[in-house]
Amino acid sequence: IEPDAVERLVRDGPARIHDARRVDAQGAGTFDTVVTNLACLRERGIPFCLVAVVTPQTARDLGAVVRTLYEQQPGFITLVPELHAEWSEQAITDLRLGSADVNELWMGEFRRGRVLCIEPLHGKILTHIYEGIPCPERCTLAGRAFAVAPSGRLYACAQIIGEDIRDDLVIGTVDTGLDRQRLADLQRQKDRVEEICQPCALRTRCQSHCGCRHLALTGDLGHITSIL
């Protein structure tokens, strides 16, 4: 591919993708505004990280998206799948292809001496080295912290709050304190996934322990899908 064609791909692809989903109050795309604001951060020496939400519609273009993020010189890039979306088998195939493009990009930059942390890529490398996700990094509900909703109700994680309408996920209030029995019950619900995933060879390297992902995909802490 000619250099100018690559430049058009990088500019037009990610800009088009971003502006289709991230608009201002007037409905206009915000890609150019974001790029300008990031340039201001770089000029002032202010470090920043970037998060990109990956959808079934953008999965195949992941390589072009990440290259655009690379150009902004972030300290860290996180790629987060849109768990509430409908991930068909074709979308999963597109994600595999897009991820392969990201891998090639990362390895190319690594060989040039530029190492940039991209999650979940780095996490997968580390789980290979450590032969699994270290216990301190595995999800335990309210293991290190819990979240407070505007209503004053307590939840085991900020991602669980949602619209703050699930009474079955509440683990106390700021007035009554933490209900440890309720928390233990939720943890037992979540641990059902560990039993389901027990025979899998990749169990220790998978983030199947994340209850928030199961809630997003199935509405149940202890139910894992083939998509995840």
pLDDT digits (tens, 9 = 90+) for 8-23: 433 444 777 777 777 7
DSSP code at position 160: H
pLDDT at 55: 92
pLDDT at 138: 65
pLDDT at 37: 86
Question: Are the beta carbons of 82 and 54 closer than 8 angstroms?
Answer: yes
Residues of the chain where predicted confidence (pLDDT) is lower than 70: 1-13, 134-138
The strand ranges marked E within the chain are 50-54, 77-81, 118-119, 147-148, 154-155, 172-173, 177-178
Q: Tell me the pTM.
A: 0.69
Alpha-carbon gap, residue 222 to 200, rounded angstroms = 16
pLDDT at 3: 41
pLDDT at 135: 56
pLDDT at 136: 53
Residue 45: CB atoms within 10 A of its CB come to 6
Which residue's structure tokens are 């699994």?
A: 132
pLDDT at 169: 94
